[in-house]
Structures are given as C-alpha cells and as structure tokens.
Structure 1
Amino acid sequence: MRVPLSWLREYVDLPAGATARDLASRLTLAGLEVETVDSLGADLTGPIVYGRVLEIEELTEFKKPIRYCRVDVGAANGTGEPQRIICGARNFSEGDLVVVSLPGAELPGGFRIGARKTYGRLSEGMICSATELGLWEDHSGIVILPEGFGEVGEDAIGPLGLREDVIDIAVTPDRGYALSIRGVAREAASLYGVAFHDPAAVDVPASAGAGHPAAIADDSLCDRLVLRAATGFDPDAPTPLWMKRRLHQSGVRPVSLAVDVTNYVMLELGQPLHAWDRDRLTGTVTVRAAEAGEKLETLDHVQRSLDTDDIVIADGAGAQAIAGVMGGLDTEIGASSTAVLIEAAHFDAIRIARASRRHQLSSEASRRFERGVDSHLQLAAATRAVGLLAELGGATAEDAYTHLDRVAPRTPVTVRAGHAASVSGVDYPAGTTEKWLEAVGCDVSADGDVLTVTPPPWRPDLTDPNDLAEEVIRFEGYENIPSIRPRGSGRGLTAGQRLRRAVGRALADAGYNEVLSYPFTGQRDLDGLQLPADDARRKALRLANPLNDEEPLLRTTLLPGLFKALARNTGRGFTDVALFETGLVYRPRAQATRAPLLPVDRGPGAEELALVDAALPEQPRRVGAVITGDAERAGWWGAGRAATWADAVQAAREVARVAGVELEAEADVHAPWHPGRCAALYVRAEGERLLVGHAGELHPRTVKAFGLPERTAAMELELDRVERARTPVVAPEVSTYPVAVQDVALVVDGDVPVGALREALAAGAGGLLESVRLFDVYTGEQVGEGRKSVAFTLRFRAADRTVTAEEAGAARDAAVAEAAARTGASLRA
C-alpha cells in the first residue's frame, strides 16, 4: 500500500515537523512493515510555472506536425515577454492554461531544460506533459489545466503536487485495514496521540424507497450488499488532476472518471467497489455461488470457466462478475454509460482468496477482501462514490438505494487487564490495556481485572486474548521488551546429537565436505540407481503439492542428492571431490493411517501424539558419502593416489570409530554398487548382527545415469542402527609393561572375508591379545590360483607382568589354530 503523506494528513493531525521517515519508523516499530519511503520529485527543480498559450504557428515543412507557440508566463522569465516554445503535441489550443518548464529547470530523470535552436526556431523552454512532469503515465499530449487552477507565471510545483513523500507498506495478511489511507491514518493517530478524522464519517440519509432489486442467495457468501445509483452521468467528464495524481502516487493507473472514483474510494476507505452500467443489467442483482459449467468473460478479455466454489454477482442473464475479484465485460462502464450502479459488499474472505488463486487473478479488490474488510463500511463507501460522481461527473445520486444487512454481531473477547504484561514480561501501568484497545477501536468494559472487549468491524483479526495483547505490546513498543538470556536446562546435548556432531567432524577431518540436499526425489532418480522393481527403496511417499514435478517423492536414500551435488561440482571443473550428508530418509509404513486434526486450545495428549506418530512414515537418520578423483594428491612429496572403493569403506569405518562400534564388512551385491566391489556393513548390537549400510564403487550404469566420473565410490550408513550398537565407554586400563608383537601370514581361499580371519584370530588368541591389525594382502603364483595370503600383526600385553616369548608364541599358535578351524587357513611358508 502506497500512502502519499499529504493525503494522509487530511485525516490525521500529524505534528508539523513529522517527516515521512519519522512516520515510517514509528509504523515499523508498531508492526507495519514499511518497505521504502519514496521522495517523488526530489530531483525536480524550477522554474516550472503556469502559462497561457497566446498564439500557435503551424510548421508544415517537416515530416511530422510541429507547432511554434507564444506562451505568456508572466514575469517568471524576468522580462514579462511571451516565451517562444517548440511543441509537437496536438491536444491544446490558443487560450489554454498549461505547465511550462523554463530554461534552467530540471525534470524527473535528470532532464535539463534549456534554450536551444530546433526545427529552425529558438525554443525557450518546454510545454510539459503529465509523463514529463511525473504526474502520471499519459502520452496523449500535454497537461491542460482547468480555468482558475492558477495564475499565469505562478510556481506550479507545489499546487500540482510534483514533490511528494510516499510511504510504501508491505501489508501482512492479518492487517488488511492498512490497505487504505483510513487504516494507516488511524494507526498514525494512535502512535502520535493526535486526532483522527474518519473519512468514512459521511452523511448517509435513509433510503427514500426501494433501490435496484438485489438478493443474497447464501448469507455465508455475503452478509452485506449495498447498491447505489447515479443517473445523468457525463461519460466524457475528465478525472480531475488531483485525483489522477493521488491514484498515480498510490500505484493505480487512472482510467476514466467512473473507474477512477471507485479506485479512489477503495484506496481512501479500504472498501473495494464495482461500477456497473445499469442499463446493461437485467433483473435482480443476486450474490450466489457459481453454477457448474458456468462461464464469464472478465474485464481482462479472458473467458473463464467458473467453479462452484466461486462467488459470483449475477443478473437475469447470468453471472456478471467474479465477486471480489473482477467484473464481467458485458456490464463494463463504457464511453456512452450515463447510468452508473455502485456495488459495495462484504464477501467471505476465504472464498475470495480461493477464487483469486484458482483463476490466477490477483486484483486490488481481491487483495483487500481476502485480508478482511470492514463489514460496516459498505453504505458509507457507496455513498462517498456516488457523491464524487455527482460532484465531478454531473450525475444525480438517487435517493433510493438497496441495503441488505445480514452481518452477525462480533463475539466479545474476555481478557485479563494484565495479560499483555504477562505475555511480554513488561510491567505496564494500570489502564494501559484499556487505553490502547480503545485507540484501535475496541469497545472495552471492565469488571475488576477482567475486560470484555468487542473488536471493531475493521479488525477481523482480533479474535482471542493474545491478539489483544499484541495490540497493547506493539503500541507500547516491541523495543521496550527486555532481552533476557534464557536459563539453560543443564542437560546439554543428547547422545544422538553428540554422535551426529562427532560424525560430521570425523568426515570433515577425513577430507569430506558437507552438503545439504532437498529431501525430494523422483522415479528417474530411482531408475538411475538401478533398483530392482521390488526394492523397498522404490516405495516412497508422494507429495500432494511438489515443488518440482520431476521430484514428487520423499527420498528413501541419501544417494541421489549426493550424486547430483557431485555432478554439479565436477561439471564446474573440480576433479577431486569428496562430499558427505547427514539427514532423514522416509519409508512408508505398511499400515498407513490418517493423522488426527489436533486442537489448538491445549497441548496434545499421549494418545493423540501416538496417533500422529502412527500416521507419520518411518524416518531413520542416515549418513552418506561420495568420493571421486584423487584421494591423495600428487606433489613434491610424492605420487598421488586415486580414490577407490576402499576409501568409501574407510569413510564408513570413520563413522563407526567415532561411534565406538566395530564395523564388519563382507562382499555383497546391492544396487547401486558394482557387484564385485560392494561391501555390506554390519555391527553387533545386543547379540544381534545388524546390517547398517553398504559401501563400494558405483555401478557403471549408475555413474552414467547421474553424469558422474568413472570409478566413483560411495557409502551409506543408517546412523540410528549404529547408535543402537553403542555400548557405554569404559576407560581402558593402561599397562606399564612392554608389548610383545607377533606377525602371522595365513593362506586362505580367495573368497574368505578378511574380517572372518581377523575375528577368528581374536577369538583364539586369548586374554593377552591387545589388538589385531591387517597389514598386507597378497595374491599371486606363490600362493596358488584362487588363493590369497593375509598378514596380521598381533600385539600381546599383560596388565601385571611382562609377557614372555613362550606366552606370546602360545597365544599366536592358538589364534592360528582357531583361524584354521573356522576358515581352513594355513600358515604361509
């Protein structure tokens, strides 16, 4: 809402020294979001004066008609002689009063005026159009002023309103009253503590009889309808300059007098109006719901199919307007309209909002109706409009009018006088609540500490005690609410939160960069992962209103988001990339239920929360990583190393390490990984072996589908299961005795997992074993076809003595024996 300061001052007695920026600051502190303060005409300088056209000489020797004019500018030019000016406009005549920019003036946009020779004549200034002066957009010709508007030679900048401060307010949905000069003026009056002069306080006489026939089919659609007629209207009557100027300053394009009057009253009072050509209406004007299959061509020349949820205004011939949104073309005010019917109504805000979005048709009227307009304003607004038509367009306002009133009284709200203080934490003086609620128009009655408050009709947003508290707090000043540091609960982070942070730090330390992806995916992504048709990851929840038609599903795996992020980075020239992400995935439940609608007047109970949980999908938390290029870069320090499937497995081991669990890996076939380079990852929890994820090199088809570099590797773990496997951390006893080291190399079949060998060695070595570490895997002629040699370092240590060579050897032999029994391993010669 754009608010010219001079227009606002007509209805509120602002202090003389109050500037637009001061007012904007106060409005912002009171909760109205002021976007800008525009100083229109700030770059304009004089002399700009009134002039009288004395003589016009037509110059016909040029390609386009040119006029050489003698213009009387009085003593403004310093000589009193007529000014000679070249002008190409054709819409003025000798004797007309015009606006003249004399040499030395500067018009908006930095356009300097000087004396110069053009078309073979000396032109000493410019006769100005509305566009050149910044009054409004009009390229039809120059501005012709009515007689008596000003004296020749007088300064025109002030009377024309060429300089004006305009406050631009971004009106939130709960403050529809601020979409009017009336609403902002009332707000300013409260902020400055000055008088407010209500522009809606017009004298409305009782109807002299029955007006135009009207009916409301359903009170839930419209609870007030007013029709007022003006006859004998002159369709050629021009919109006065002051009205055009104010409309333009407010962001509305002047059209014609009848339309401009309805727009002017809407901006002034906040009540949208519609002007009909009454001669084109047939029968009773009825507010009703649209019928199935009904169509209407609106004023923007678009044929629209109406929905049965739309509210329409119809006559005997059918729908003539989408109520509160846009009128129909058939009953539009035209160049020959002499009988004007002004319609003012109060429609259901929700239905108007739905219609506006359904037809993708947002108008100035719909913006106001969907935010809520004053339900008692319609008769005053219609009366104001027909009065302006009579005053400016020569019309006669009919004494008989139609007024259908079905408005229900507002429900009073009961609130404690100290409620605002308890909400804000500020001890307001006694009477503060009553003072501010009465300032915004509420009717307040007190019974001890309890106030019964009836909100005014222009504030449909005031419905409960907290709304009323907000009014008190914002006028007292949000800036006066003290900033108090909340006291901590002392519990700190949960175990899960600490684990997630530790995982993030560990992967970052390992060289991975964290990314955050949208949790949306599509069928194309699932196909790119090469998932089988019966894979559980293909069962995804579909969004009712997706942001992207190609990604209508909630993700069941983190991998597609990671792959897209990797592809974006490699596509921008990064060759060595390692990324990780932690987040939720969403798995539909087998027996899905509908979530209950929870009450808002109390907290939900345990049963209600259980029903909500049952309706939600399973949401396990996962961590994923992807790596490509060099894991270790080459340089003066030596050769680099390309990332392989082993780096993806190692990333999973880093997660397991900070979680304090042992990760077991064994070969597996699982999409989207390469069948021969995929590891299934397990942990043990409460005696159970849990599958927690997979790691390895991606399948070539997946690499191609997502546009990834060859040999890209990835891993994905379910953090919730890893957390389940965590056991309480016990500080180890540190022995002061030396360690005994034994190396062992075992030859096994090529398909025996290294993890199984390690587990067997640990089980057989006994209580002296401190650690088992793999340091070599060999395949070749020396061990035979289909065989491999696996070498481990065994470290033995006792807490109370030095381990002897015999003890270490015996423990080593026992470990080898156990490995042989479990896996068929033999010592390498």
Structure 2
Amino acid sequence: MLFPESWLRSFVNPSVSTDELAHMLTMAGLEIEGTAPVAPPFSGIVVAHINEVRPHPNADKLRICSVDDGSGELLQIVCGAPNAAQGLKVPLARIGAVLPGDFKISKARMRGEDSFGMLCSARELGLSQDHGGLLELNADAKVGQDIRSALDLNDTIFEIKLTPNRADCLSILGVAREVAALTGAGLTVPASQPVAVAHQDTLPVTVEAPDLCGRFAGRIVRGVNAKAATPEWMKSRLERAGQRSVSALVDISNYVMLELGRPTHVFDLARITGGLTVRWAREGESLTLLNDQTVDLSPDVGVIAAGETIESLAGIMGGAATAVSLETTDIYLEAAFWFPEAIAGRARRYKFSSEASHRFERGVDFKSIPEHIDYISSLILEICGGQAGPVNDQTLALPLRQPVSMRLARCRRVLGIPVTADDVRDVFTKLNFSFTEQDDVFSVTPPSFRFDLEIEEDLIEEVARIYGFERIPGNPPSAPAVMLHTNETRRSEHDLRHLMAALDYQEVVNFSFVEKAWETNYMGNADPIGLLNPIASQLEVMRSGLIGGLIANIQYNQKRQQSRVRVFELGRIFRRDPSVTDGDLSVAGVRQPLHLAAAAWGPAEPEQWGLPVRQTDFFDVKNDIERLCSQQAQKLRFEAVVHPALHPGRSANVLLGEQVIGFVGELHPQWVQDNELVHPPVLFELDVTALQQMHFPDYQEVSRQPAVFRDLAVWAPSQLNVQDLLDTVRNNQQDGQFLDIIKDIALFDVWKDPKSDSQERSLALRFTLQDPSATLEDTRVDQCMNAVLTLLVEKHGVRKR
C-alpha cells in the first residue's frame, strides 16, 4: 500500500523525522518497504504568469514569452512548448536554478534572442514522463511562489507491506492509530457530522443471506453533478497513493476507502429497477463487471440483485449495468459489512483482485458504517452538490467480540522479559483497548476494526510491538549440557536421510498437493482428499503416495539434459480413514503416515572409463532397500505384485515378516511414455515407522571354525517362488535334523532350456555351513545337504538336477 507522509501527518503529527517514522512503523510490525520523495531535488523554480506570447523572428517553432515571476520585472523567455499561451501559469526556472540531474540554468541566446530562464514541463521537473508541453498550474497559484510549496512537493511516499492479519492498517486512519500508540501524539479523525436530510426517498433493500452480509446501509442522493471536477487536493492524494483519478463520484469513494478503510459502492439510481436484494448467486447466473469482465457465478458467491438482474459482486466489484457515468444525476450510496469468509478467495477464483475484496476478506470495521456514510455523503454534497435522503441501516448478524484473556506470567514467559502490569496497562491504553484486570489476568474486548485478536498470543504480540522489540535485550540462550539418552532400537528420520544420502540419493521436498491424475494413475486412488481452495488449479488433491512428485522431478531434470537422477523424499501422505479422530496432530477421517520414497533413473554408476554404462534396474534398487533394512535382513522379503504405477513383471511388495511395508518396481511403460522419459525409472516407497524399528545390537564371537560351501541345483516349477524355498529351509532349521549348521543360502543361477516346453526351471543354491564349536566332517555335511533336498522334495515337489 502506498500513501504520502503528509496525508498521514494530517491525522497524527509526531515530532520525529521521516526516517525515524519509517523505522518506528517497521519495528512495530508494519514493514515500510521503501520511501521515495514525491519529486527529485531541484531549486530556484517558481510559479510564473505568461503575460504575452509572440513569434520568434528567426525560428518557426520557437516563441518569445513575456513572463511575470513576481520579481516586479517581466522576463523574456524563449520557449518551444506548443501549449505556451497568454494567461497561463507555469513553472519557471530562473537563472541559477538547478533542475534534476544537476542541470543548471543560465542566460542563453537562442537564434539571436536572449532567454533569461526556462519554462518547464512535468518531465523536466521529474514529476512524470509527460513532455508534450509546459506543466500547467492552477489559475489561483501565487506568482513567485516556490513551486515545491505550490505543488506540495516536499513530501515522501511510503510503501508499506502489511501482513494479512493487519487489515485495520489498510487505511491512513489505521496507520495513524499505530503511530499515535507508538509516539503518544494526538490523533485527529476527520469529523463526520450528520448530513442534513433534504428528502425522504429510500430504496428498499432485502438481505436474504445474513451469513453473507451482517450489516447493510445506504442512502439516496438526488441532483448530483457527476461532471464536477475532483478537487486538486483529493486528486493529488489519490495519485500519490497509486490511484488514478476517474471522476468525482468514483474518486470520492476511492478516497474514503484509502483514508478510512471503508469500501463503498455508488449505484446509478436510474438504472435500478425496484429495490435491491442481497443474496447468494444461483447456478447459471452471470455478471458483467466494471472492468468489462463477464463472470459465471456459483452458489457460494454473494451478489446484490435488483429483481432478477445481478447488479454487483458483493464486497468485490460493482456491475457495469448500474455504474455511474458523467450523465448520472441520482445515486444510491451503499456501505455494508460482508463476512470475511464469504468474500475470501472469490475474486482470485475469477483471476482478478479489487481493493474492496482485499479489505473485506480480511475484515472491515462494522461499527462505524453510519458515520462513514455521513462522511462520504458530505464530500459528495460539497463537491458534486445534491440533496441527501435518510440513511437506511439494517443490522442483521454482526460478529461477536469475545473477550480475550492474557496472563501476565504467560506474557513474561513468552517475551522473556519482566514486563510489569503497568507496562501492559500502558500498552492497552495507548491502543484504546477496552480491558479489565483481575489477579494479573487482563481481559480485552477486541475493537470492531481488529479481526486479528483471538487468542492470548495475539495480545502478547501487541504488548511486544508497542513496548518495543528494540527494548527486548538480546541475551544469548543458555541450556544445561546434559547428554540425552539414545534409543538404540529406533532410527530417527535424520538417520534415514543420512542412509539415503550414503546410497547416492539426493533429498527433494515436493508439494503435498498433487494433480488428481497422479492419484488415479500412480496410486489407483479414485477418491483422493480434495482441497477446498487449491493454490493452483492443477494441485487440487492431497497425495496418498510420494512417487508422483519423484517422477515429476525426473522429468524436470531430463528436460534440462541431466542423464542420471537419484532422488528421495521423506514426507507425509494423506489417506481416508474413518477410524482417525481429531487430536493435536491428527484430523478426523485422515490418516497421515510418514513415508520414504526414492527413484533411480539413468546409469547405475556415474560415467567412468573403468565400467561399461549400464542402466539402473530392479535389482540395483532392491539392493538399496536391503541395505536400508540390514538390521532386519532375516525378516525382509519381496513378493511379486501388480501395482498401477509399476511394470507388471518387474514389481514387488516389500515385507518385514508378514507385514507389507511398501513396494518397489520399475515404472509402468504407459507412464514412461506419457512422461516422455527415455528410460524407465525404478522406484520404491516404504513406511517409515517400519524402517525405524531396529533390533538391539547382539554381538557374537566370530567362529574360529572354517566354513564349508556346498551347491545344490534342483528342477522346480516355474511358478514356484525362490523365497518359498528359502523360507522352508529357514523355518525348519530349529526342528529339522542336521539343518542347524546352515548359516546362509544364496541363489546364484537360474536356467531354463529355451527349446523346451517344460514348465520347470533350474535353480542353483549355494549353502554356507558352519559349526561354531567343531570342524565339520564330510559325513555331517552330506547329511545336511541330503536333509535339505528331502525337505524341498516333500514340500515343493522339486527334483535334483
């Protein structure tokens, strides 16, 4: 928001400099992003009156002006401006004047004629880029007066950046309240005396939606002159606040909005048929706005209608059908309180923003509506004339101002300083808060213009702001150096991140909001959790898996000529679960487990001379999972599975014992093609809770006895999983005779005769055998291997190769 310092000081004028004022506001939470002078430095320029203009004898485009600069003598000025005319008042740079850019004026001779100064355009004074002619001044400007005083150029433009909660400061009055509280200077509020009622005409207004509009007020003003000129003082303030002048009626409405924070709307009464109705829009209705944009309305958008005709978007923008024009003679002036939640997000839905919606969706004072209507009415009557009717004020459902309590002890603890009860009283008094005090507990009733005071911490913030952040000492924190206990049976999230980094993956953080197509395609989720107000149209649902974001990361990097990508994300997913109830860290009906997902794409190893280039495959990533779960290797299993995101023959569930903790696999060819990837990435996603569980380290002495290795090759049905063979042997090690010396089993060969139609394949297993207390003899080894073969034949019908 922009505003001139002079406008602010007309409300409150503390004895501090411009820089001090800007610093003070910034330290109070109203950040001043920058200040800029209204005009650049220049001197020696005064108001002058052109008495006579005659042609230059030696140049067709130049003229000789006889100019009165208030010194008592007429000056001869040679000028080439097309608008130089007798009787005009313009800026004159006298000899010795210094223009912006350190350009000094001296006596000049132009085509044989002397020129004792220069008449200036707005561009030459640095006021605008207009250089089509001289800057024309008001006829009542005093000749000889310094131009900086005449145009009030010794002013500064403040640019303030407000946080969304401080809607009360979206006006000069709101900022002035803060300055008065910070400095103790007196606050002068524009007087709003009741306007004399000249007729009894009213416009009937029906409010059908009290949840949209809590208060509606308006009055008819007849006989206005819409062609009246906006006063220069008002036009100047509007322009310096970033508003262009449109017409007197529009300018007055904008002026009151900037000065008091009160958005109003002026209807052309002649264009309203019957009365007005405030209601929610109906399906299929549309409206052409003041900006000539036609919008299709939905039932959650508020409107003001006249009969079946929609006149304006409630609290956002008026319609073109009832807009005032220079031919308007009778108007209806409206001011209302619209509930913030009924306005928030509606303008953004139609891809525009308005000054009114920016304020209403944050909260506007609902108490001062009648006074503000009288104030704007007085300005209209003063500038445009007319006769005002009575104010029709309907109060339907105003927000309840519930008292907010603040404990002095809590305030001291949060701020870390020993503020006293007197300090708190002083702060709340400066802010004009209505409060009570009992047993060091302050109870504040928020003013009607403060929608940001809801909890105890809000009041503590007010104390800190007005007490002064700079008065809070910057003491270094102190903490006891106590060693914390380490849970060796649980890995932290940071440990998992370090493990993934050690496996050559880089961490990414993606949005929890994803495209709906990702949920359908990658997770098979036909009913994802939708967002009521998405930050972007495509990010409309909550993710139930992490792999969609990783695939997008790979696609992004491929388009930027990256040939190898290995990324992981540790984040929450969101799934519907009716059993979940509301809690401090939970939302009813939504389960939010923490998952770890990774994707590997491109060569398995960085390109180098010692290794041939090989694309990452399923078994590379499977090995990464085994290293992640090395503490639970005995329980880790992989089972083939069909997953909507993965290749049908190259995907598996990951299990710890009987619990499925995730999946791993190569991306489905369909999604590889849709994402235009040159190679399929391999992905996995695991439940973090399962990964965090570890066994307490149980160290055993390394056996001094040598290990014995034996191979066993068997013919097994093609559909038989190797994992089933391994499980059978391990499950019978305790009960089975001779099997207790088996330490490890590894599959080292799979073969099938390509010319045979047999449904069998050869599986070659290598057994590591060892007894920790005695050297194994051939007899015992043979007994073990025969027992293994017998067990596999009985359980799975294999035969020895």
1:368 aligns with 2:363: no
**How far, CA to CA, are the matches of 1:414 and 1:641 in structure 2?**
66
Pair 1:296–1:189, CA change in 2 (3 A) = same
Deviation at 1:13, TM superposition (A): 2.6
RMSD of aligned residue pairs (Cα, Å): 4.9
Provide closer, same or farther for how the CA distance between residues 826 and 440 of structure 1 changes in structure 2, counting only shifts above 3 A.
Answer: same
1:598-677 to 2 correspondence within 5 Å?
Answer: 613=588, 615-617=589-591, 619=592, 621-633=594-606, 635-665=608-638, 673-674=646-647, 676-677=649-650
Deviation at 1:434, TM superposition (A): 2.4
TM-score by length of 1: 0.78
* Matched residue type, 2:79: I
Label 1:651 to 1:462 Cα distance change in 2 as closer, same or farther (>3 A).
closer
SS in structure 1 opposite 2:740? Answer: coil
Matched, 1:146 2:145: no
1:302-701 paired onto structure 2 within 5 Å: 302=293, 321-329=312-320, 332-337=323-328, 342-353=333-344, 356=347, 362-389=353-380, 395=385, 401-402=390-391, 404=393, 406=395, 411=401, 413=403, 415=405, 418=408, 420-421=411-412, 424-446=415-437, 449=440, 453-462=444-453, 466-478=457-469, 480=472, 498=491, 500-519=493-512, 525=518, 537-545=524-532, 552-588=540-576, 613=588, 615-617=589-591, 619=592, 621-633=594-606, 635-665=608-638, 673-674=646-647, 676-679=649-652, 681-684=654-657, 689-698=658-667, 700-701=669-670
Find the residue that maps to 1:8 and give its secondary structure. helix
Describe the SS at the equivalent of 1:87.
coil
How far does the alpha carbon of each residue in 1:54-81 deviate from its partner, in whole angstroms, 9 at most, with x for none? Answer: 333479999xx966351526389x9973
Which residue of the partner structure matches residue 18 of structure 1? 17
Letter in 1 for 2:676: G
Q: Which runs of 5+ in 1 are unaligned?
A: 530-535
- Residues 1:716 and 2:716 are matched in the alignment: no
Cα displacement (A) at 1:375: 3.5
Deviation, 1:517, is 3.8
Counterpart of 1:159 in structure 2 is 150
CA 1:673 to 1:187, structure 2 compared with 1: closer, same or farther past 3 Å? closer
C-alpha contact (below 8 Å) 2:514/2:541 kept by paired residues: yes
- Tell me the distance in 2 between the aligned counterparts of 1:445 and 1:102: 64
- Percentage identity across aligned positions? 27
761-770 vs 506-515, which moves further = 761-770
Residue 51 (1) aligns with residue 51 (2)? no
Is the CA contact 2:507–2:567 (under 8 Å) kept in the aligned structure 1?
yes
Q: CA deviation at 1:191?
A: 0.7
Question: In the alignment, is the contact (CA less than 8 A) between 1:441 and 1:455 conserved in 2?
Answer: no
Residues 136 and 197 of structure 1: is their aligned pair in 2 closer, same or farther, counting only changes over 3 Å?
farther
Check whether the contact 1:211–1:401 (CA below 8 A) recurs between aligned residues. Answer: yes
1:732-758 deviation digits (Å, cap 9, x = unpaired): 321462333333243434736544555
Change in 2 beyond 3 A, CA 1:780/1:311: closer
Distance 1:679 1:363 in 2: 54
Q: Which residue of the partner structure matches residue 710 of structure 2?
A: 743
- Equivalent residue in structure 2 for 1:796, among 758, 767, 770: 770
Q: TM-score, normalised by structure 2?
A: 0.81
Q: Which residue of 2 aligns with 1:733?
A: 700
5+ residue gaps in structure 2?
none
Looking at structure 1, the residues matched to 763 and 401 of structure 2 have their Cα atoms a distance apart, in angstroms, of 86
Correspondence for 1:82: 76
1:34 Cα deviation after fit: 2.9
| Contact 1:212–1:402, Cα closer than 8 Å, also in 2 | no
- TM-aligned CA deviation for residue 143 of structure 1: 3.5
Q: Which amino acid aligns with 1:242?
A: W
Q: Distance in 2 between matches of 1:109 and 1:538?
A: 66
Name the SS for the 1:632 alignment partner: coil
User: What amino acid is the match of 1:656?
Assistant: C
- Structure 1 residues 701 and 190: CA distance shift in structure 2, 3 A: closer
Deviations 1:21-59 (A, max 9, x none): 3222222222223333333434x4344332222333479
Displacement, 1:8? Answer: 1.4
> 321-330 or 571-580: which moved more?
321-330
- The separation in 2 between residues aligned to 1:412 and 1:693, in whole angstroms, is 49
Cα offset, 1:206, TM superposition: 7.3
Q: CA deviation at 1:84?
A: 1.1
What secondary structure, in the 3-state scheme, does the structure 1 residue paired with 2:147 have?
coil
Which residue of structure 2 lines up, in the alignment, with residue 194 of structure 1?
A: 185
Distance in 2 (alpha carbons) for counterparts of 1:634 and 1:57? 84
Secondary structure of the structure 2 residue equivalent to 1:566: helix
Corresponding residue for residue 6 of structure 2: 6
Q: CA 1:755–1:389 in structure 2 vs 1: closer, same or farther (change >3 Å)? A: closer
Q: Structure 1 residues 383, 142: closer, same or farther in 2, change over 3 A?
A: farther
Deviation at 1:314, TM superposition (A): 6.8
Distance 1:276-1:731 versus aligned 2 partners, 3 A rule: closer
Is 1:213 matched up with 2:202? Answer: yes
Which residue of the other structure, out of 665, 671, 675, is the alignment partner of 1:706? 675
Q: Is the partner of 1:434 in helix, strand or coil?
A: helix
SS at match of 1:167: strand
Hey, what's the Cα distance between the residues in 1 that align with 2:93 and 2:540? Answer: 61
My pick for the range that moved more, 464-473 or 126-135, is: 126-135
Q: Distance in 1 between matches of 2:360 and 2:617?
A: 63
DSSP 3-state at the match of 1:367? helix
The answer to whether the 8 Å contact 1:741/1:795 transfers is yes
User: Do the aligned residues in 2 keep the contact of 1:777 with 1:789 (CA within 8 Å)?
Assistant: yes
Specify the code of the residue in structure 1 equivalent to 2:419.
Y
Decide which moves more: 100-109 or 138-147: 100-109
Which residue of the partner structure matches residue 532 of structure 1? Answer: none
Separation (CA, whole Å) in 1 of partners of 2:575 and 2:442: 51
SS of equivalent residue, structure 2 residue 150:
coil
